[in-house]
Amino acid sequence: MENTLRLLYALQQVDLQLQEIHELKGDLPAVVAELEAKVNEMTSRLKELEKTVKQSKVERDKADSDIVTLAEKAEKYKGQQLQVKNNKQYDALTKEIELAQERSIKLQKDMELLEGRMQLAKTDAVVVATQLEEISVDYDERKKELKEVNKEHEKEELKFRHEREKLLARIKKEDFDRYERIQRAKGGTAVVPVKRGACGGCFSRVPPQKMLEIRQNTKLFMCEHCGRILVSDQVAEKSPAL
Ligand SMILES: [Zn+2]
């Protein structure tokens, strides 16, 4: 049992170190992730707008050339009307001319809509591109900052993570589960030494009889007030050094 207590106390020390590193980084990792998501979102929005501009232009140009073709057709029909032999043929050509004119009017309207859509997308694209540029500068700066902070603590972090893996391999699952449960409930500290007759977590007095039992290191004792695992000074001092 003394071994289990030592391992749990050592795990607690490692976790506190990792927590400290995590706190040093502050909200930087979250900020960088958020900026990255924004950059990606705006980049795809910009692509979408550029695609709209391109497509509208192609469709507009097509309508434009169709109008020219229709006008040519109408002129041709008008020429044919001068040579027809009867009213029936004349009327048939009149109908064709009218159809070409109607179609042309419809295409004019389409062109206006496409032109409007293109201009709107162009304007939006300029706005998005400007925002994207600003946010990209911010993103790059923050990313660089985070990289530096990570680099600064990388070795330490790796060392502690490795240490943690080694400890976990030696701690029974049920003990670790209990540790983790208390750790989560108590915001990080699950194992504390008894100091001057008081719990090292909540500073409540530990009864003398219990102190004696804790010193024997024969079982897991919880603080009656905060529920943290209590270890003796002896265990805390002789814990696998970090
Ligand atoms: Zn306590």
Mean pLDDT of 118-133: 97
Residue 214 Cα, ligand 1 centroid: separation in angstroms? 14
The predicted pLDDT at position 113 comes to: 97
Residue 199 Cα, ligand 1 centroid: separation in angstroms? 5
Q: Quick one: tokens of 104?
A: 């042309």
Residue 205: strand pairing partners: 198
Residue 188 counted as domain residue? yes
For residues 152 and 180, membership in a common domain is answered with no
> For residue 242, what pLDDT band results from cuts at 50, 70 and 90?
very low
For residues 156 and 204, membership in a common domain is answered with no
The predicted pLDDT at position 239 comes to: 60
Let me know: does 199 contact 223? Beta carbons within 8 Å.
Answer: yes
> For residue 217, what pLDDT band results from cuts at 50, 70 and 90?
confident
Query: Which of 170, 188, 223 is the last residue before a domain boundary?
Result: 170
Residue 202 Cα, ligand 1 centroid: separation in angstroms? 4
Let me know: does 173 contact 158? Beta carbons within 8 Å.
Answer: no
Dist. CA 133–CA 140, nearest whole Å: 11
Residue 213 Cα, ligand 1 centroid: separation in angstroms? 16
Residue 113 counted as domain residue? yes
Q: Are strands 229-231 and 221-222 parallel, antiparallel or unpaired?
A: antiparallel
Q: Quick one: tokens of 29?
A: 């990792």
Residue 25 Cα, ligand 1 centroid: separation in angstroms? 29
Q: Which residues contact 27 (CB under 8 A, 6 or more apart)?
A: none
For residues 67 and 137, membership in a common domain is answered with yes
Residue 227 Cα, ligand 1 centroid: separation in angstroms? 6
pLDDT digits (tens, 9 = 90+) for 146-155: 999 999 999 9
For residues 159 and 193, membership in a common domain is answered with no
Query: Among candidates 48, 100, 43, 45, which has minimal Cα distance to 72?
Result: 100
For residues 194 and 84, membership in a common domain is answered with no
Residue 20 Cα, ligand 1 centroid: separation in angstroms? 22
Query: Which of 170, 195, 228 is the last residue before a domain boundary?
Result: 170
Residue 223 Cα, ligand 1 centroid: separation in angstroms? 5
Residue 168 Cα, ligand 1 centroid: separation in angstroms? 24
Residue 160 Cα, ligand 1 centroid: separation in angstroms? 26
Query: Which of 170, 199, 221 is the last residue before a domain boundary?
Result: 170
pLDDT digits (tens, 9 = 90+) for 153-174: 999 999 999 999 999 999 999 9
Scan for tokens 């109408």, then name that residue. Answer: 74
Tally the domains of the chain. 2
Q: Quick one: tokens of 152?
A: 């600064």
Query: What's this model's pTM, rounded to 2 decimal places?
Result: 0.63
DSSP state of 223: -
Residue 200: give the domain boundaries.
Answer: 173-238
**For the chain, where are the alpha helices, taking DSSP H only?**
2-25, 28-81, 87-170, 173-185, 208-216, 233-238
Residue 201 Cα, ligand 1 centroid: separation in angstroms? 5
Residue 228 Cα, ligand 1 centroid: separation in angstroms? 6
